[in-house]
Amino acid sequence: MYLVSVIITTKNEEKNIEACLKSIKGQTYKDIEIIVVDNLSSDSTKEIALKFTGKVFDKGPERSAQRNFGMIDKSSGEYVMYIDADMLLSPDLIEACVEEMKKDNSVSALHIPEIVLGKSYFSRVRRFERCFYNGTCIDGARFFLKSAFVSAGGFDESMSGPEDWDMDKKIKTAGKIQLLEVDSKSRADAGLKVRELYGFIRDRGVDPSRYGAVIFHNESEFDLSRYLTKKGYYSQSFATYIKKWGKNDPDIIKQFGVLYRFFCVFTEKGKWKRLAAHPVLTFGLYFLRFVVGFTFLMKKPVPK
Measured CA to CA, the distance from residue 86 to residue 93 in angstroms comes to 16
88-133: per-residue pLDDT in tens? 999 999 999 999 999 999 999 999 999 999 999 999 999 999 999 9
Measured CA to CA, the distance from residue 266 to residue 27 in angstroms comes to 32
Measured CA to CA, the distance from residue 67 to residue 12 in angstroms comes to 16
Q: 196: buried, middle or exposed (CB in 10 Å: 19+, 13-18, 0-12)?
A: middle
255: pLDDT strictly greater than 50: yes
What average pLDDT does this structure show over 169-175?
92
Same domain, 36 and 117: yes
Same domain, 201 and 273: no
**Residue 130 pLDDT:** 96
The verdict on residue 304 lying in a domain is no
Q: Which range of residues forms the domain containing residue 271?
A: 224-299
64-100: per-residue pLDDT in tens? 999 999 999 999 999 999 999 999 999 999 999 999 9
The last residue of a domain, from among 217, 235, 250: 217
Sheet holding 176-179, edge to edge: 56-58, 32-38, 4-10, 79-84, 143-145, 107-111, 176-179
Same domain, 187 and 238: no
301: pLDDT strictly greater than 60: no
Measured CA to CA, the distance from residue 61 to residue 40 in angstroms comes to 9
Same domain, 211 and 235: no
Q: pLDDT-derived band of residue 191, with 50, 70 and 90 as boundaries?
A: low
Averaged pLDDT of the chain: 92
236: pLDDT strictly greater than 90: no
The last residue of a domain, from among 198, 217, 236: 217
What does the angle CA 142 – CA 146 – CA 147 come to, to the nearest 5 degrees? Answer: 135
Same domain, 139 and 242: no
| CATH code, domain carrying 45 | 3.90.550.10
pTM for the model = 0.92
The SS3 call for residue 290 is: helix
Same domain, 90 and 176: yes
Same domain, 114 and 163: yes
